[in-house]
Amino acid sequence: MQYLLQKGPLVIRRAEKSDIPDITALIQALALYEKMPEACLATDELIEQSIFERGEAQVLMAEYDGKVAGFSLYFYNYSTWMARKGLYLEDLFVYPEMRGKGIGKALILQLAKIAAKEGCGRFEWCCLDWNEPSIQFYKSLGAKPMDEWTIYRLEGEALSKLAEEGE
């Protein structure tokens, strides 16, 4: 196992294939926390294929006293203006009973170190507008909201319909 941080009872490490059931459980717990469990389609099989076989994303696992406490899932995007890659945090989640122990901050710090080491031009993520505890946490780290930007999304039937127009 590759430990990125080992500090007292807290360990941050890169995920391994044996973590797949825990990653899936964390994603499902996050979907429940974000009040959208029905939208969560993640399965062990899909996690294995997308992360461990195709390398579409990377995962850091957090353990506290030997128990899975949380995770962060990230991938790289690209800034044309900076002409450099960026690190995009897709999800960060710490089980409620593990919060207040510095786990979320440790995960963010490790991602910042990865971004800096790899020459990323920026490190960014999205946060639901009702998630005030997370918003305050991110601001305390020096992160700034990008309120002038609106995220657009195509998925499901709308994505399929648009793709078919090009045929």
The pTM of this model reads: 0.94
Distance of alpha carbon 108 from alpha carbon 111, whole angstroms: 5
**Residue 1 pLDDT more than 90?**
no
Per-residue pLDDT at 2: 73
Catalytic residue among 3, 33, 138, 152: 138
Distance of alpha carbon 10 from alpha carbon 4, whole angstroms: 11
**Could you read off the pLDDT of 14-67 as tens digits, one per residue?**
999 999 999 999 999 999 999 999 999 999 999 999 999 999 999 999 999 999
User: Is 138 tagged catalytic?
Assistant: yes
Domain 3-165: what homologous superfamily?
A: Gcn5-related N-acetyltransferase (GNAT) (3.40.630.30)
The domains of the chain are located at 3-165
Sheet holding 67-79, edge to edge: 3-7, 10-14, 58-64, 67-79, 84-94, 123-125
Nearest to 51 by CA among 12, 83, 91, 81: 91
